[in-house]
Amino acid sequence: MLKTILYIAIGGAIGSVLRYLTAVFVSKFWSNQFPLATFIANVFGCFLIGLFIGILAKNNLTDSQLKWFLITGFCGGYTTFSTFSVENFNLLQNNNSLLAFGYMALSILLGLFAVWFGLLLSK
């Protein structure tokens, strides 16, 4: 169990740092109200989790330490649903409901598509 926790922690640390770097990179090119960095992290993270699940299943590694490292650790550290929620709350509080609902809908729909596409690519 301790070994599993270590894999999750290392994967989470890497994912969190990559999430930060995504925000830094996107902020250099985007300065709009739409939270693009979080949107990119969530959709790309959904794609990665689909891809990783498919590859692990294809190679009979669904009970491996690699699963904990990649899915729970890395993808969990990289994606940002809590930030997504607070950003939508702020958009709603600032009377940007159309932008908030558009952001929610796009994130959910593209996230689901990205998981499907990741699974498809892994086969």
DSSP state letters, 47-112: HHHHHHHHHHHHTT-TTSHHHIIIIIIIIHHH--HHHHHHHHHHHHHTT-HHHHHHHHHHHHHHHH
Asked if residue 80 lies in contact with residue 42, where contact means CB atoms within 8 angstroms, the answer is: yes
| Structural domain count of the chain | 1
pLDDT digits (tens, 9 = 90+) for 39-49: 999 999 999 99
Q: What is the pTM of this model?
A: 0.81
Q: Does position 13 have pLDDT exceeding 90, yes or no?
A: yes
Q: State the average pLDDT over residues 79-101.
A: 92
pLDDT of residue 40: 94
Domain that holds residue 51: 2-122
CA pair distance 123, 118, nearest whole angstrom = 9
Asked if residue 74 lies in contact with residue 10, where contact means CB atoms within 8 angstroms, the answer is: no
Q: Flag the least confident range among 31-35, 51-55, 101-105.
A: 31-35
> DSSP assignment, residue 2?
H
Does 22 show up as a binding residue in the annotation? no
Does 62 show up as a binding residue in the annotation? no
